[in-house]
């Protein structure tokens, strides 16, 4: 998932080698410890044999983890980078191809198809860019390497539980260098909480089953407090006299209060009812874009805690489903 003001550069050349380790800290010893812990947690020996077969530290994973240059971006730059003409074209095609499925997903989870498609588009370009790292190998590498060992050890254990359940094989469990999996880019712990078998084939397949992919995204949002029938937000205009210090997602006031301060619709649907709590966002500060965001904006931020990300999800979804 994209962070608020940074993009990871995948092509940075390797500069660090796998760290030297003592015999006690060797990768085989790490795997032996993980195997013992997993067996105590009830994971079968057969699952562990398949998951750990031929496993070695992945240097590319370490390189990507250690070389994450951040490029400070304005909101305007971030928006232009992610909401491209081609992504809109692809998104409209994906929406039309899956319209009936999205309606069934909405009927079950009461989540708007636009926001589902928006997340799908940002996370994997509508299923075309999921990452090809073997998740167990990537997580084991990062859990052994030590910089964020506790987090990745927990995610590795979650991945082993998924394999033990039989939802996917180790070879098909692919994703990003950091272990985000499939078309929704779920971490294994999120998969365990939110992935669903919407297709009804007895397993939760977020790699190749569009019903499971879109249903799982919807379940994540529904579990994060999505309110049926309410908007996420919309573009607005603010007067020159507007106090920029009153902007920010934590300053929620009734829509009627913002109307009295001169906030107006920038286009599209009318504002929500006057008593609905809302916040004004000025992502580039005074003089730039302005948005009024509602409770569902916070549900999107549960997927990725970034105002930029949530705004792009909402805008992309509204555009491709209009």
Q: How many CB atoms lie within 10 A of CB 172?
A: 13
The closest of 148, 203, 143, 161 to 51, measured between CA atoms, is: 161
Give the C-alpha separation, 278 to 263, whole Å: 12
Name the residue among 179, 190, 192, 183 with its Cα closest to residue 214.
183
CA triple 148-123-127, angle to 5 deg: 125
Distance of CA 254 to the CA centre of its chain: 29
Measured in whole angstroms, how far is the alpha carbon of residue 320 from the centre of its chain?
A: 19
Q: Which two tokens stand for residue 214?
A: 């879109």
* Residues with active-site annotation: 123
């Amino acid at each position: 998932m994209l962070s608020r003001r940074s993009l990871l550069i995948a092509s940075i050349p390797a500069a660090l080698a796998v760290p030297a380790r003592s015999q006690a800290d060797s990768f085989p010893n790490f795997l032996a410890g993980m195997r013992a812990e997993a067996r105590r947690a009830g994971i079968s020996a057969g699952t562990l044999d398949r998951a750990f077969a031929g496993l070695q530290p992945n240097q590319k994973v370490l390189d990507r983890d250690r070389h994450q240059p951040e490029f400070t971006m304005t909101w305007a730059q971030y928006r232009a980078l992610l909401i491209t003409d081609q992504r809109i074209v692809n998104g409209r095609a994906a929406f039309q191809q899956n319209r009936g499925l999205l309606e069934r997903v909405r009927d079950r989870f009461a989540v708007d198809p636009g926001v589902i498609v928006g997340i799908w588009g940002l996370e994997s370009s509508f299923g075309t860019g999921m990452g090809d790292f073997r998740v167990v190998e990537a997580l084991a590498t990062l859990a052994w390497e030590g910089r964020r060992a506790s987090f990745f050890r927990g995610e590795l254990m979650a991945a082993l539980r998924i394999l033990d359940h039989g939802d996917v094989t180790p070879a098909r469990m692919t994703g990003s260098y950091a272990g985000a999996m499939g078309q929704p880019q779920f971490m294994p712990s999120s998969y365990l909480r939110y992935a669903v078998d919407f297709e009804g084939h007895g397993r939760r397949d977020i790699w190749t089953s569009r019903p499971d992919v879109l249903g799982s995204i919807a379940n994540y949002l529904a579990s994060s407090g999505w309110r049926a029938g309410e908007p996420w937000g919309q573009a607005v205009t603010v007067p020159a006299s507007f106090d920029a210090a009153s902007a920010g997602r934590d300053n929620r006031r009734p829509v009627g209060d913002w109307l009295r301060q001169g906030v107006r619709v920038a286009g599209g649907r009318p504002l929500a009812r006057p008593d609905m709590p809302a916040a004004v966002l000025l992502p580039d500060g005074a003089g730039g874009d302005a948005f009024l965001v509602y409770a569902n904006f916070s549900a999107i931020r549960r997927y990725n805690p970034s105002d930029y990300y949530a705004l792009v999800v909402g805008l992309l979804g509204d555009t491709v489903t209009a």
